[in-house]
Amino acid sequence: MRLHDFPWRIGVGGALLGLFAVIAILAPVLAPYDPFAISGPPLVPPNSSYLFGTDMLGRDVLSGMIHGARVSLVVGLVSALCSAVIGITVGAIAGYFGGAVDRALVRFTEFFQVIPSFMFVILLVAILTPSLGSIVAAISLVIWPPVARLVRSEFMTLKTREFVEAARSLGLSHGAVIVREILPNAMPPVLAVGSLMVATAILTEASLSFLGLADPNMISWGYMIGSARSVFRQAWWLSIFPGLMLFLTVFAITLLSEGLGDKTNPNLRGNQPGL
């Protein structure tokens, strides 16, 4: 029975994500070398002195991976938070007021959905110049539509419930009804989708870094993988180790999202037909 999967999904996903968060926070303490400083001979394979080897310039790969966790998690969390704010605001207003307001905001949301997301991110980053701030802004502007559609659907269902009608009868303003009555009840499924947005943001940042469109002054897993393309056959460790960290991070977030989604949404538990 799928209900039994919740503890291990949430537990394993949360534990892995927590581990990466600790690594990111303690990066200056844990990293043996400055990730941009030459610490040894170039292209040294993993050994007792350099656990994950060195790159083409003699920089320590382990230090790069530890500091790269900061960039990946910061971009993922901040982008997901910003896009969630946009999506919740648009979806709440559309679902609550309906009518012409709903139609206008739905068309606005669909506009962002039909645009090729990654190409739009590349365009925005190129216009704003590559930096951590521009990457966060660009990613936030393209991943919010799923949250908006989900929140709109939840609001359209909840706004006709008895507790909402009771709040209106007490003279509460529209803003108070939205924020205090409906939004808390609409948040559980949004949390599951929001966690997946973190994974999407991390992968998008890694793709931009792989293409050389990230901040050149900040090291990330995507940057490390991209810079090692030309020597993959000779130095496999330069791509494999950062790629493994990227995979484990996204895997942990996916497990956490599935566990939260199953636990908060009965439609995902198999008790009711899916939407």
For residue range 24-48, list pLDDT tens digits in order.
Answer: 999 989 888 888 899 889 999 999 8
Residue 115 belongs to a domain: yes
Within a domain: residue 223?
A: yes
Q: Give the pLDDT confidence of 181-194 residue by residue, as tens digits.
A: 899 888 888 888 88
Residue 42 lies in a domain: no
Q: What tokens were used for 132?
A: 């951590």
How confident is the model at residue 265, as a pLDDT?
A: 57
Is residue 274 very low, low, confident or very high in pLDDT (cuts 50, 70, 90)?
very low
Q: What would the mean pLDDT of 98-103 be, rounded to a whole number?
A: 92
Q: What is the mean pLDDT of the chain?
A: 87
Q: Is the pLDDT at 234 greater than 80, yes or no?
A: yes
pTM: 0.85
Task: List pLDDT tens digits, range 106-128.
Answer: 999 999 888 888 999 998 888 88
| pLDDT tier for residue 267 given thresholds of 50, 70 and 90 | low
Residue 8 has pLDDT above 80, yes or no: no
Q: Is residue 68 part of a domain?
A: yes
Asked whether the predicted pLDDT for residue 270 surpasses 70, the reply is no
How many domains in the chain?
A: 1
Q: Which tens digit of pLDDT belongs to each residue from 127-157?
A: 888 888 899 999 999 999 999 999 999 999 9
Residue 262 has pLDDT above 80, yes or no: no
Is the residue at 159 inside a domain? yes
Question: Mean per-residue pLDDT for 215-222?
Answer: 86
Question: Closest Cα partner for 77 from 8, 123, 20?
Answer: 20
pLDDT at 272 over 60: no
Count of CB atoms situated within 10 Å of the CB of 174: 11
pLDDT tens, 163-180?
A: 888 888 888 888 899 998
C-alpha dihedral, 6 to 255 to 275 to 198, nearest 10°: 140
Query: Can you give the pLDDT at residue 167?
Result: 86
> What percentage of the chain exceeds 70 in pLDDT?
93
Q: Are 204 and 141 in contact (CB under 8 A)?
A: no
Tell me the mean pLDDT in the region 202-228: 88
Note down the domain range covering 102: 63-264
Would you say residue 172 lies in a domain?
Answer: yes
CATH at residue 147: 1.10.3720.10
Question: Backbone phi, then psi, for 214, in 5-degree steps?
Answer: -100, 175
Is the model's pLDDT at 273 over the cut of 50?
A: no
How far apart are the C-alpha atoms of 52 and 8, rounded to whole Å? 30
Q: Report the pLDDT averaged over residues 98-102.
A: 92
CB 55 within 8 A of CB 227: yes
CB 39 within 8 A of CB 33: yes
Q: Is 205 exposed, middle or buried (0-12, 13-18, 19+ CB in 10 A)?
A: buried
In a domain, 226, yes or no: yes
Which pLDDT band holds residue 268 (cuts at 50, 70, 90)?
very low
The pLDDT tens digits for 44-80 are 999 988 999 999 999 999 999 999 999 889 998 999 9
- Within a domain: 253: yes
pLDDT for the residue numbered 121: 92
Q: Percent of the chain scored above 90 by pLDDT?
A: 47
> Is residue 201 very low, low, confident or very high in pLDDT (cuts 50, 70, 90)?
very high
